[in-house]
């Protein structure tokens, strides 16, 4: 009996210390930068104003795709919108917009006012789909290639240097 | 300059610890029952050097010596003097200085306060304590040196996080540290007792006051932390079951179990190995807590900067402590065949211990489980209030009944003569609970159980108080603590049950009404303070039923160094309730988001905890007088 207790106690403490040691070497802060270079998971997107779906696999038809997360209530999204409008004119790049936790009326007004740069708009009413892309705040954009590999992530509104970088990457 | 002075003092302290260990081991081998006076002298010098070292760091903060990295990172020349001083223990490195100072002072006091105990027991305690001191000195010197310099010397410091600039947070760490670092002394004493086979009642006698003192301070430290969270975090609650809070609660449970079972060891010479286990466990849990907090493996409101190398150091130290103590415990363990009657005070003390262990395990599992799943499966989960509330509260209700009955039982063999009394207490508790439900109309099974059981404890302890007055046989310490614990649970129950919370948006001049309340945002004003600017709201809260009007002024503060936005809650406290109001701005809108809460009995929750720890201190004074 005593030996059993001894062994159990020892095992317990070794286990706990082992766990502590493992935890020390873990990446603590949530950082999505590490997603660059990884392939997109199979995700299905629901069209913003319809019932049809887009499988991200279909994005393989495009040379490059920029997936942009936005909402009408998000101030910085307004800022980057002009950049998106210009990017829309680039032939090798298709734009997918994911409307994040938004009301459809407001989103539509937003696009009416500033223009619609997107080739496909998906809705994400509860912000759940965006989590699968590793998004934790909007605006955020993800540039992927034909193989659905993430080439870059742009956290925050797209800036001029981001624009030049995107153009450089796709050409 | 201060850097050199501080480092030399730290280094000298390490040497003193070696000398103390050397002389102590030499003296253990020699005959005679007196401890050589040089050991006392070196201990005294060590203590004064540690204090000088600490004050050197304080001085660096006061004169804003930014050549020290620690001062540069945690202070600012324009900060009020009070917070400059508090900055000393606001950082990881500085708080380790607090560790060392408490370890050393307790070591010295234990040495001089226990003259009636065997020489070798005292010397071994001194040796173990100095090994711990050395461990932490090495940690400070080689990993977390508060006297490290930066070159070139920066002109200005980075400042202390504004949410830490609060009087409560100035005293929170020292109080908490006296509590859980203080438990080191009975860890060392327990190890010494095992080595020297000093297992009589006398051992209980030598540690009991230390347990009570550390418990009292730990309770106050936890309380101040809660008060800070309530006033500063703008959430309206005072306990989050946050992993770091749990880390301070774990040793508290162990201490509570310990000072109850120490009584059994002292009076009946039983439970020796159990007392030893609790002594060892308390400090091990304290160091585990330090590890969890300082290594940064927890995500919590306490965002301490983390650095894996710190974690490795504390983990090695923790492992050494754990394995040496369980080795010694298993080596010396003897089964005793003392018999404990199931109806006796001993049993009731054991019941207290089982409950404490149950709480301890619950909180430990809740705290460690997310770490385990994250380490093994990469799955991030968090264990929150629903778990703790569901597991702990129903059990608290049962616990309180035992807490009421236990103190009235007799040692060795008890007979229940007071069943009639208890039935009367139960009936009164039920009636009062019925009245509360009837008049205030809020009902859940658990909250009723909690209220009934706490009333039962309160009534029966009050009855004890009256009895004690008659017999002039005072156990005021126990009565104070048990009574305040009963009140604490009762007030938490009432607070939980009768809180009102309402969230809404208002612009200047607008009024909103709900239930019996009418709230108006009258105006906003902008004010400049020495280290921040503030947008101050002026809100009128009208209770239409009572016709009572209160003006509350929540603030949005904009700090410069470092530049941060904080929300300051406006709180109106009176004897039966708090009004709690926070205001935050909404981007690009003239509306402000207002959160209004009515929290009954808040001030009594704080008072109950103060009285609870007062009970512990009363017992210490009484013990001191009896000596």
Q: Which of A19, A24, A75 sits opposite B295 (nearest CB)?
A: A24
d(CA B568, CA A72): 30
pLDDT band at A39 (very low <50, low <70, confident <90, very high): confident
The residues in A 69-98 lying below 8 A from B, measured between CB atoms, are 75
Name the one residue in this structure whose structure tokens are 């048990």: B482
Q: Beta strand B548-552 with B555-559: parallel, antiparallel or unpaired? A: unpaired
Contact B375 A6 (CB under 8 A): no
Distance of CA B400 to the CA centre of its chain: 21
ipTM exceeding 0.90, yes/no: no
Reference A70, options A57, A84, A55, A56; nearest CA is A84
Domain of A109 in residue numbering reads as 32-170
DSSP structural state of residue B286:
H
Tell whether the model's pLDDT for residue B250 goes beyond 60. Answer: yes
Contact B23, B42 (CB under 8 A): yes
* Chain segment B254-270, per-residue pLDDT in tens: 999 999 999 999 888 88
Contact B312 A10 (CB under 8 A): no
Beta bridge partners of B437: none
Nearest CA of chain B to the CA of A52: how many Å? 33
pLDDT band at A36 (very low <50, low <70, confident <90, very high): confident
The residues in A 109-148 lying below 8 A from B, measured between CB atoms, are none
The count of other CB atoms within 10 Å of the CB of residue B259 is 22
* Chain segment B431-488, per-residue pLDDT in tens: 888 888 877 776 778 888 888 999 999 998 998 888 877 776 678 888 999 999 999 9
User: Could you tell me which residues come within 8 angstroms of residue B621 by beta carbon, excluding any fewer than 6 positions away?
Assistant: none
Measured CB to CB, residues of chain B less than 8 Å from chain A are 291, 295-297, 299, 306, 308, 311-312, 315, 318-319, 322-323, 326, 330, 333, 368, 371-372, 374-376, 587-588
d(CA B557, CA B561): 12
Tell whether the model's pLDDT for residue B588 goes beyond 80. Answer: no
Highest mean pLDDT among B17-26, B501-510, B549-558: B17-26
Q: Which residue of A has its CA nearest to B289?
A: A20
CATH number of the domain to which A109 belongs? 3.40.30.10
Contact B608, B488 (CB under 8 A): yes
Q: What is the mean pLDDT of chain B?
A: 88
Query: What pTM was estimated for this model as a whole?
Result: 0.83
Reference B79, options B529, B556, B528, B527; nearest CA is B529
- pLDDT for residue A77: 86
DSSP structural state of residue B379:
-
- pLDDT for residue B141: 92
d(CA A23, CA A16): 11
Tell whether the model's pLDDT for residue A29 goes beyond 60. Answer: no
A116 lies in a domain?
yes
- pLDDT for residue B562: 67
Nearest CA of chain B to the CA of A41: how many Å? 18
Contact B360, B253 (CB under 8 A): yes
Q: Which residue of B has its CA nearest to A76?
A: B587
* Chain segment A115-157, per-residue pLDDT in tens: 899 988 988 887 777 777 777 778 889 899 888 888 888 888 8
A21 lies in a domain?
no
Contact B368 A6 (CB under 8 A): no
d(CA B543, CA B518): 7
Nearest CA of chain A to the CA of B312: how many Å? 7
Contact B44, B125 (CB under 8 A): no
Contact B166, B227 (CB under 8 A): no
Contact B244, B301 (CB under 8 A): yes
Contact A20 B306 (CB under 8 A): no
Residue A149 contacts B, CB cutoff 8 Å:
no
Q: Beta strand B570-573 with B577-585: parallel, antiparallel or unpaired? A: antiparallel
Structural domain tally of chain A? 1
Tell whether the model's pLDDT for residue B237 goes beyond 90. Answer: no
d(CA B475, CA A45): 70
Contact B262, B205 (CB under 8 A): no
pLDDT band at B302 (very low <50, low <70, confident <90, very high): low
* Chain segment B344-399, per-residue pLDDT in tens: 888 889 999 999 999 999 999 999 998 898 888 877 777 888 899 889 988 999 99
Q: How far is CA A77 from CA A73, A130, B65, B594, in A?
A: 8, 16, 44, 26
Contacts of A10 in chain B (CB under 8 A): 326
* Chain segment B133-189, per-residue pLDDT in tens: 999 999 999 988 999 888 888 888 887 777 777 888 889 999 999 999 999 999 999
Best of A23, A32, A74 to disrupt the B interface (most B CBs within 10 Å) is A23
d(CA B78, CA B156): 9
- B/e letters for B245-254, b = 16+ CB within 10 Å, e = fewer, are bbbbbbbbbb
- pLDDT for residue B178: 95
Contact B330 A6 (CB under 8 A): yes
- pLDDT for residue A130: 79
Contact B222, B246 (CB under 8 A): no
A9 lies in a domain?
no
- What six digits make up the tokens of B532? 């921040």
Nearest CA of chain B to the CA of A33: how many Å? 18
Return the H-helix or E-strand segment holding B605: helix B602-626
Contacts of A72 in chain B (CB under 8 A): none
A135 lies in a domain?
yes
A12 lies in a domain?
no
Contact B296, B305 (CB under 8 A): yes
Q: How far is CA B15 from CA A78, A148, B20, B49, B71, in A?
A: 64, 62, 9, 11, 26
* Chain segment B54-104, per-residue pLDDT in tens: 999 999 999 988 989 888 888 888 888 888 888 888 888 899 999 999 999
Contact B374 A13 (CB under 8 A): no
Higher pLDDT, B598 or B408: B598
A66 lies in a domain?
yes
The count of other CB atoms within 10 Å of the CB of residue A131 is 11
Strands (E), B439-516: 500-506, 511-514
Contacts of B371 in chain A (CB under 8 A): 19-20, 23
* Chain segment A64-100, per-residue pLDDT in tens: 999 999 988 887 888 888 889 988 888 888 899 999 8
d(CA B242, CA B526): 35
- What six digits make up the tokens of B241? 């079951």
Residue A17 contacts B, CB cutoff 8 Å:
yes
Contact B455, B490 (CB under 8 A): yes
Quick one: CA dihedral A161, A163, A167, A170, positive or negative?
A: positive
A48 lies in a domain?
yes
Contacts of B588 in chain A (CB under 8 A): 75
Return the H-helix or E-strand segment holding A94: strand A93-100
| Lowest-confidence region among B33-42, B49-58, B251-260 | B33-42
A1 lies in a domain?
no
- pLDDT for residue A30: 54
- CA B386-B390-B393 angle, to 5 degrees, is 120
């Amino acid at each position: 009996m005593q030996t059993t207790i001894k062994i159990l106690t020892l095992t317990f403490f070794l286990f706990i210390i082992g766990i502590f040691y493992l935890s020390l070497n873990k990446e603590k802060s949530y950082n999505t930068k590490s997603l660059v270079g990884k392939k997109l998971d199979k995700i299905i997107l629901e069209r913003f104003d319809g019932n049809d779906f887009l499988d991200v696999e279909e994005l393989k038809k495009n040379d490059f795709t920029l997936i942009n997360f936005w909402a009408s209530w998000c101030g910085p999204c307004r800022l980057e919108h002009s950049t998106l409008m210009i990017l829309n004119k680039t032939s090798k790049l298709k734009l997918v917009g994911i409307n994040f936790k938004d009301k459809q009326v407001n989103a539509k007004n937003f696009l009416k006012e500033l223009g619609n740069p997107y080739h496909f708009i998906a809705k994400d009413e509860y912000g759940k789909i965006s989590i699968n892309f590793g998004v934790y705040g909007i605006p955020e954009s993800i540039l992927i290639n034909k193989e659905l590999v993430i080439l870059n992530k742009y956290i925050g509104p797209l800036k001029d240097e981001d624009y030049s970088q995107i153009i450089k990457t796709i050409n | 300059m201060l850097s050199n002075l501080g480092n030399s003092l730290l280094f000298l302290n390490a040497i003193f610890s070696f000398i103390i260990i050397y002389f102590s081991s030499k003296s253990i081998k020699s005959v005679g029952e007196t401890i050589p006076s040089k050991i006392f002298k070196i201990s005294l010098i060590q203590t004064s050097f540690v204090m000088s070292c600490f004050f050197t760091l304080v001085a660096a903060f006061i004169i804003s010596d930014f050549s020290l990295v620690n001062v540069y990172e945690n202070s600012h020349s324009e900060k009020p003097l009070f917070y400059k001083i508090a900055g000393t223990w606001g950082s990881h490195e500085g708080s380790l200085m607090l560790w060392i100072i408490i370890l050393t002072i307790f070591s010295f006091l234990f040495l001089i306060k226990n003259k009636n105990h065997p020489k070798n027991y005292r010397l071994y305690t001194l040796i173990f304590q100095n090994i711990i001191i050395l461990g932490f000195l090495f940690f400070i010197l080689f990993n977390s040196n508060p006297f490290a310099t930066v070159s070139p010397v920066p002109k200005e410091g980075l400042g202390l996080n504004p949410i830490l600039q609060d009087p409560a947070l100035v005293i929170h760490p020292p109080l908490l540290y006296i509590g859980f670092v203080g438990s080191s002394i009975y860890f060392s004493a327990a190890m010494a007792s095992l080595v020297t086979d000093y297992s009589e009642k006398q051992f209980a006698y030598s540690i009991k006051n230390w347990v009570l003192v550390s418990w009292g301070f730990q309770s106050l430290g936890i309380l101040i932390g809660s008060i800070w969270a309530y006033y500063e975090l703008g959430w309206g609650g005072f306990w989050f079951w946050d992993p770091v809070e749990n880390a301070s609660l774990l040793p508290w449970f162990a201490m509570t179990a310990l000072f109850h079972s120490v009584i059994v060891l002292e009076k009946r010479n039983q439970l020796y190995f159990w007392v030893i286990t609790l002594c060892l466990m308390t400090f091990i849990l304290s160091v585990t807590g330090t590890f969890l907090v300082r290594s940064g493996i927890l995500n919590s409101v306490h965002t301490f900067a983390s650095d894996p190398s710190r974690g490795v150091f504390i983990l090695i130290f923790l492992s050494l402590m754990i394995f040496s103590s369980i080795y010694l415990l298993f080596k010396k363990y003897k089964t005793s065949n003392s018999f404990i009657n199931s109806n006796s005070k001993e049993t009731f003390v054991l019941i207290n211990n089982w409950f404490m262990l149950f709480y301890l395990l619950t909180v430990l599992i809740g705290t460690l489980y997310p770490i385990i799943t994250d380490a093994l499966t990469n799955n991030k989960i968090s264990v929150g209030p629903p778990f703790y509330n569901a597991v702990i509260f129903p059990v608290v209700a049962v616990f309180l009944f035992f807490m009421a009955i236990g103190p009235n039982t007799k040692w060795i063999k008890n007979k229940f003569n007071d069943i009639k009394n208890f039935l009367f207490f139960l009936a009164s508790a039920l009636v009062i609970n019925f009245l509360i439900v009837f008049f205030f109309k809020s009902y859940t099974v658990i909250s009723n159980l909690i209220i009934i059981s706490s009333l039962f404890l309160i009534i029966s302890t009050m009855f004890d108080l009256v009895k004690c007055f008659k017999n002039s046989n005072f156990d005021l310490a126990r009565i104070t603590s048990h009574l305040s614990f009963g009140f604490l649970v009762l007030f938490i129950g009432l607070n939980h049950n009768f809180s009102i919370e309402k969230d809404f948006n208002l612009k200047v001049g607008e009024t909103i009404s709900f239930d019996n309340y009418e709230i108006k945002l009258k105006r906003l004003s902008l004010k400049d303070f020495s280290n921040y600017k503030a947008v101050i709201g002026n809100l009128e809260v009208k209770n239409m039923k009572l016709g009572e009007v209160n003006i509350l002024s929540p603030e949005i503060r904009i700090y410069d160094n470092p530049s941060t936005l904080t929300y300051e809650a406006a709180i109106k406290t009176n004897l039966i309730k708090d009004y709690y109001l926070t205001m935050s701005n909404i981007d690009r809108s003239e509306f402000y988001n207002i959160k209004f809460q009515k929290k009954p009995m808040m001030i009594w929750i704080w008072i109950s905890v103060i009285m609870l720890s007062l009970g512990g201190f009363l017992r210490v004074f009484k013990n001191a007088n009896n000596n």
